Structure 1
Amino acid sequence: MPPIKSVAIIGAGPAGIISINALAQEQVFDRIRVFERRDRAGGCWIEDPDSHVQQLPDLERIAERRPDETLEIPLELPTTTNRNTQHRFSETTVYPALETNIDAQAMAFSQEPFPEERTQLNIERHGKDSPFRHWKVVEQYLQKLENGQEDRWWQETFDSVIVASGHYHVPFIPHTPGLCKLDADFPGMVQHSKAYRKPETYRDKRVVVVGASISGPDISFTLAEYAKTPVHSVVRGKYHPYFFDYAFQHPNIVRRPPIARVVSNKEDNVRKVVFEDGTALDDVLHNLPSPFTAIRNLTLGYQVDYIIFATGYTWTLPFLPQIASTIRNNRLPNLYLHIFHQSEATLCFVGAIAAGFTFKVFEWQAVLAGRYLAGRVSLPPLSEQRAWEEKRMQYKGDGVSFTALYPDFEAYFEEVRTLAGEPREGKGRKLPRFETWWREGFYRAHLVRIEMWKRGNERARKEKEKEKEKEKEKEKEKEKEKEKEKEKEKEKEKQKQKQERVGEAGNGGFGCEDGLEKEKEMEKERGGEAGN
C-alpha cells in the first residue's frame, strides 16, 4: 500500500473527534480534514433549539429503511447553492433529562476523563456518587466548529476516508397498517423517541409507547407520572438484557402486545389502536365478564393522543451510495473487526458497533485505524478477514446483533489493542490494557438505574395505596351521609304520621288543644295496654 498522506474524516461526533486525535498523534499525515453537517462538534450529544420541530417526512420509506437518499451533486464544481431542503435527519436525541447510560469513567476516552460535575437532577436520581453524566457535561467534553448557512460544493481527493458519522440519526418505525393515514389525519400524533423532549408535553394525554430497549423503558417510566394513566407500553419479544422489565413494573404502566393496526377518521376525530392477542383492563374495554379477560385483537376503547415509537434507527450512508447498497438487516457487511472494509482497506469505519463502551471503544478503533493508515500495522490476508466475519455471523447472527460487543468486551478490546501495538518512537496514542473495573462499572451503572426504577415503582405503589385508602374513606363518608339521610327521612316520615294522627283527632270534633290532650290520653292508654 502506498503511503497515506491525506485523510478525510466524516463526522465530528465522539468517534470523529477521537479519530482526529489518533491520526494527529501518528505525526505522518500532511492533511486531515473533517466534514461535519452540524455547526458544532458533538454528534448526537448536541442540543437542538426548543423551537426546532422534528419531522417524520415519509413513514413508508422509514419502514422500508430507505428514507435518507443521496443528494444530487451539481454538474459543475466548485459551486455554492442555496441550502438544500431535503430532510437529512440531523436532529439529535438530546432532551433535558438525558444522561449517560453507563459509568462515565468507563465510558470516557482513556486519557481524557469526564469532569466530576453532576447536575441536581442527576444527584436526586442516583445520589451524590452518581456514575452517570448529564448530556450538557458530555457536550462540553467536545469542541465547537464554524457555523455554516449555505451549501458549498467542491471536489477533493484523499488517500483514505474514515467514516465516523454514527448510526443513530435516521429513525426506524415498523410498518403498521393504518399508521400513515393516522399521521396524515393527525400530524404530530405519531412520534419517534428521537423527538422526545419533555414529559410535560404529554401531561394528561393517553400515550402508547412502543419498544423495550434503551429509550422505551425510560420514556414509559417517566410518562407514568405525567400522562393519563395507564401508559400503554408495547413490548415485542425479550426485554433488554441490561434492564429486564423493571421500568415496566410501575403501577401506572400496562404492558401490551404488538400493535396489529391503527384506525383513524379525521372527520369523526377517531384515533384508535388495535393490539394483537392480549389481556384488557376494564377501563379499556367495557362490558367484559371480568376486569381481566383474554381476547383477540384488543382495541383501545378510547382515543389515543400520542404513539411514541422507541424502535431504534436505520443505518444509512447517503454519501457512499455503493457501499450503502450492501447494507442488510441493518448491518454493513464486509467490515473486518468492524473497522476495515474488505474491498478497500483505506476505507475505515469508527463507531460501527453497538452495545459497547461508548466512547472508549471508538478510541480503540481510531488508534488501530490510525496505525494502519500510518503504515505501522499490517492486516491479515483477505481470506482471514472473511473467516473472522463468517465466524462472528455464526456466533452473533447476520443482523444488528453482529455489531454488539456485549458480553465479550474484553476479547474485542484486547484483539484491537494487540493488533494496534505500541506507539513507535513516541508517535501515536497508547492504548492501555482492558481494565476489569470498566466491565464492573458498566454493569454496576445498570444496577443503579434499575434501583432508581425500583424506588420509583415502590413510591408509586405507596401513592396508589394512599389513593385507595382515601377512596375508602370517601366511600365511608358517603355511606355515613346516606345513613344520615335515611335517618332524616325516617324522622320526616314519623313526623308526617304524627301530624296525620293529630289531624284525624281534630276531625273527631275536638279543638286543637283538646285534640292534643286527647292524643296524649290515647298514647297513655296504648302504653297501659302494652304494659298489661
Structure 2
Amino acid sequence: MDSSVHPKRILVIGGGVCGLVSLRNLIEYGSFDEVQLVERRDDVGGVWYLDEHGTNNASEKKPRWPSPAYPGLIGNVLPEFLSFSDAPFPEPPTTPEQPFPTLKETYNYLRNFADQYLKQAKIQLNTEVVRVEELQDGTGWNVVTRDWSTAGEGKTLSNVWDGVVVCTGWYDKPLWPKTEGMDIVKEKGLALHAKWYRGPQEYTGKRAFIIGNGNSSNDIASHLAPLAQNPVYRSIRRPSLRHFVSLPDSRIQDVAPVRRFTLQEDDKITAELQDHTIIKDIDIVFIGSGYIPNPSFLYVRTPNSPSFSLAPLMSQISAEAPQPRRIPSLHRHILYAYNPSLAFIGSVMCFTPFTIADVSSMWLTLAWTNEVEYPSTSKDLLQFEKDRIEDIERRREIEAQETGREASSLFTYSALGSSEEDYAAGLKQEIVSSRPELAKVLPEWNDERRIWRQTMYPVKYQSLRWLKVQREKKASIEENVVINSTATC
C-alpha cells in the first residue's frame, strides 16, 4: 500500500511520559482536526504516578493498574534529560550531593505539564482501551474503550479514529524466567516480580533471594540488606552494566544463576544453582528480569493474506524468532510498516526516555503532516527492522566471542544502547530539514551529549554514597537519643 497518510482524528493511548509529550507535539505542531489521549488510570504520569491502592477493594469492580514504582524511589536521570522541549524540569529541592529528582518531583513535573490538556478535556482519564482493530480497507482503526469514571461494570464505547499512537511503554507485563520450579514457587506466592515490590519492611528477618542485577534488583537488594536475614542473595548471569549503579554491600552476596527451585515441606524454598551450590530455607524470591512489550489489545489485518483476517499484532513474531522481545514491523521504531496510520512512541528502551519520546513524537507529527518523508511501500518500511536485527545479531556474536560469555540481554533490538544519540540525531535532522525553527527547540544529539549523559553514572554513584552517610548519621543520632532517654529513666 502507499504509505503516505495524513490522519485527521488521532487517538493517543497512555498518559505516561510518551503519551503526554506525543499529545503536546501533535496538538501544538500538527494540523489535525482532533487529538485525544486516553488513560486507564485515574491520573497521568505512567510509572511515575504511584497509586497507593496496591490491590482492589473487594467491593469495587473497577480494576487497578498500579505503577512498578515504590515509595522512596529516586531516579537515575538528571533534570536536563527529564525535560521536554520548551518545558524545563524545575530545579529539584535537593542538595548538590543528590541532584536526581525523586518519584514525587518527577510526577509533579508530568502532572503540571499535562494540566492545560486536562483542563481542555484533551485527556480522558479512567478510560481503558479494550480493543483496537484495523479497518478492512486500512483507512482507520475501530477503538473499543471501557469507561471506569462512574460506578458499575464500566461502560463500553466504540469509536473510529484515523490514526492511533500507542504509548503504553514497557513496564506493564512482567517477564518471568523459565527456571525449573518457578511456576510452583510463583503459585505459592513466594516469588514476587519487581513490578510489585513496595518496600522492605514486611521482609524483616526473612531470607531473601533476588534474581538479576539491573536497577530494580540492585535497589531491592540494598533496601533489604539492613532488615532481612543476611546475606541477601543476588543471582546474576554476568557483571552488571555500568549504568546500573549500586554501592558494594558486604550484606549482599552475589551467587550463580539458578538451575532449579524446589518447594520445601515447610513452604520455604531451596535454590540449586548452576555451580551446584544449594541454598535452603529461602522465604521470598524477587524477580528482576524485566518486562516484555505487550499491546495485547491491538489487532491488525494479517499482512500479505488474501483473507485480511484480524490477528494480534504480537502474533507476527514467535519466541524462536531473532530478537522476539519487540514490537514488530516498525520503521524507525515508530511507524507500523503495513499501515503507517498506526504508530508507537516508547517502543524501545533507552537511557533518556523523556527526550527520546519528545524527538520521536515530533518526527511522527511531521510524518503525519507529510512534511517528513519516509519510504512509500511496506517492503521499504520493513527494511529498517531487517537491517537493525542483522546488525544486533552480528554485534552480539562479536561481544560473545570477545568476552567468552553470552551477550547481555540488554544488548538487543529493543534497547537503543550506544546508538541512542545517533538515532535521535537522525530524527532531529529530518525534523529540522522540514522546520528549521525547531533546531533550537529540540536538544542537541552528538558525541558531546553522549559524554555528558555518561557522566550521570559516576554522579549517581557519589549520590548513593552521600545518601548512605546521611542514613548512618541519622541512625547514630536516633540510637544516642534512645540511650540518653534510658539513662535518665
1:367-378 alignment, distance < 5 Å: 367-378=362-373
CA pair 341-3 structure 1, distance change in 2 beyond 3 A: closer
CA pair 53-183 structure 1, distance change in 2 beyond 3 A: same
1:208 — aligned with what? 209
Q: Does 1:271 align with 2:250?
A: no
Q: What does the per-residue CA deviation read over 1:497-528, in whole Å, with 9 as the maximum and x for residues that have no partner?
A: xxxxxxxxxxxxxxxxxxxxxxxxxxxxxxxx
1:311 — aligned with what? 289
CA pair 437-48 structure 1, distance change in 2 beyond 3 A: farther
Rounded to whole Å, the distance in 2 between the matches of 1:216 and 1:191 is 12
Aligned partners of 1:5 and 1:159 also within 8 Å:
yes
Structure 2: unaligned runs, 5 residues or longer = 112-117, 119-123, 127-148, 300-311, 319-323, 397-408, 473-489
Aligned partners of 2:179 and 2:260 also within 8 Å:
yes
Q: Does 1:190 align with 2:201?
A: no
Rounded to whole Å, the distance in 2 between the matches of 1:452 and 1:439 is 21
CA pair 349-437 structure 1, distance change in 2 beyond 3 A: same
Question: How much does 1:221 deviate?
Answer: 2.1
Letter in 2 for 1:32: V
2:115 — aligned with what? none
Q: Does 1:333 align with 2:298?
A: no
Aligned partners of 1:334 and 1:341 also within 8 Å:
yes
Larger mean Cα displacement after TM superposition, 163-172 or 27-36: 27-36
Question: How much does 1:378 deviate?
Answer: 1.8
1:110-509 alignment, distance < 5 Å: 110-119=85-94, 123=95, 128-143=96-111, 146=125, 148-149=149-150, 150-185=153-188, 187=189, 189-243=190-244, 247=247, 249-265=248-264, 268-278=265-275, 296=276, 298-301=277-280, 303-321=281-299, 322-328=312-318, 329-382=324-377, 383-397=379-393, 401-421=412-432, 424=435, 430-434=441-445, 438-452=449-463
Rounded to whole Å, the distance in 2 between the matches of 1:106 and 1:10 is 23
Q: What does the per-residue CA deviation read over 1:84-128, in whole Å, with 9 as the maximum and x for residues that have no partner?
A: 76xx8x221121121222222123212211111235xxx4xxxx2
The structure carrying a bigger helix percent of its residues is: 1
Question: How much does 1:326 deviate?
Answer: 2.1
| Secondary structure of the structure 1 residue equivalent to 2:21 | helix
Aligned partners of 1:326 and 1:332 also within 8 Å:
no
CA pair 129-436 structure 1, distance change in 2 beyond 3 A: farther
1:94 — aligned with what? 69
Question: How much does 1:435 deviate?
Answer: 5.7
The structure carrying a bigger strand percent of its residues is: 2
Question: How much does 1:457 deviate?
Answer: 8.9
Structure 1: unaligned runs, 5 residues or longer = 55-81, 279-295, 462-532
Question: How much does 1:41 deviate?
Answer: 1.0
Rounded to whole Å, the distance in 1 between the matches of 2:361 and 2:260 is 44
Aligned partners of 1:243 and 1:450 also within 8 Å:
no
Aligned partners of 2:350 and 2:420 also within 8 Å:
no
Letter in 2 for 1:369: L
1:497 — aligned with what? none
Rounded to whole Å, the distance in 1 between the matches of 2:439 and 2:240 is 41
| Secondary structure of the structure 1 residue equivalent to 2:183 | helix
Letter in 1 for 2:266: N
Rounded to whole Å, the distance in 2 between the matches of 1:459 and 1:97 is 15
Rounded to whole Å, the distance in 1 between the matches of 2:80 and 2:437 is 26
| Secondary structure of the structure 2 residue equivalent to 1:402 | coil
Aligned partners of 2:422 and 2:446 also within 8 Å:
no
CA pair 181-275 structure 1, distance change in 2 beyond 3 A: same
Aligned partners of 2:73 and 2:103 also within 8 Å:
yes
Aligned partners of 2:48 and 2:67 also within 8 Å:
yes
| Secondary structure of the structure 2 residue equivalent to 1:307 | strand
Letter in 1 for 2:316: T
CA pair 2-436 structure 1, distance change in 2 beyond 3 A: closer
Aligned partners of 1:106 and 1:441 also within 8 Å:
no
CA pair 210-422 structure 1, distance change in 2 beyond 3 A: same
Letter in 1 for 2:270: V
Q: What does the per-residue CA deviation read over 1:278-331, in whole Å, with 9 as the maximum and x for residues that have no partner?
A: 3xxxxxxxxxxxxxxxxx2x2213x21211101101211121042121245211
1:501-520 alignment, distance < 5 Å: none
Question: How much does 1:430 deviate?
Answer: 4.3
2:46 — aligned with what? 43
Letter in 1 for 2:197: Y
Aligned partners of 1:26 and 1:429 also within 8 Å:
no
Q: Does 1:15 align with 2:44?
A: no
Rounded to whole Å, the distance in 2 between the matches of 1:458 and 1:13 is 34
Rounded to whole Å, the distance in 2 between the matches of 1:215 and 1:369 is 31
Letter in 2 for 1:309: I
Question: How much does 1:181 deviate?
Answer: 2.5
Question: How much does 1:17 deviate?
Answer: 0.5
Structure 1 length as normaliser, TM-score? Answer: 0.68
Rounded to whole Å, the distance in 1 between the matches of 2:293 and 2:173 is 7
Aligned partners of 2:259 and 2:273 also within 8 Å:
yes
Whose Rg is larger?
1
Question: How much does 1:168 deviate?
Answer: 0.9
Rounded to whole Å, the distance in 2 between the matches of 1:342 and 1:207 is 45
Count matched residues. Answer: 399
Aligned partners of 1:25 and 1:428 also within 8 Å:
no
Letter in 1 for 2:335: F
2:84 — aligned with what? 109
CA pair 9-115 structure 1, distance change in 2 beyond 3 A: same
Rounded to whole Å, the distance in 2 between the matches of 1:424 and 1:441 is 27
1:516 — aligned with what? none
| Secondary structure of the structure 2 residue equivalent to 1:345 | coil
Question: How much does 1:219 deviate?
Answer: 1.5
Aligned partners of 1:10 and 1:162 also within 8 Å:
yes
- What's the % identity of the aligned pairs? 24
Letter in 2 for 1:114: F
Q: Does 1:26 align with 2:5?
A: no
Structure 2 length as normaliser, TM-score? Answer: 0.74
Q: What does the per-residue CA deviation read over 1:344-397, in whole Å, with 9 as the maximum and x for residues that have no partner?
A: 111111111112311000001100111111222221244543333222112223
Letter in 2 for 1:257: A
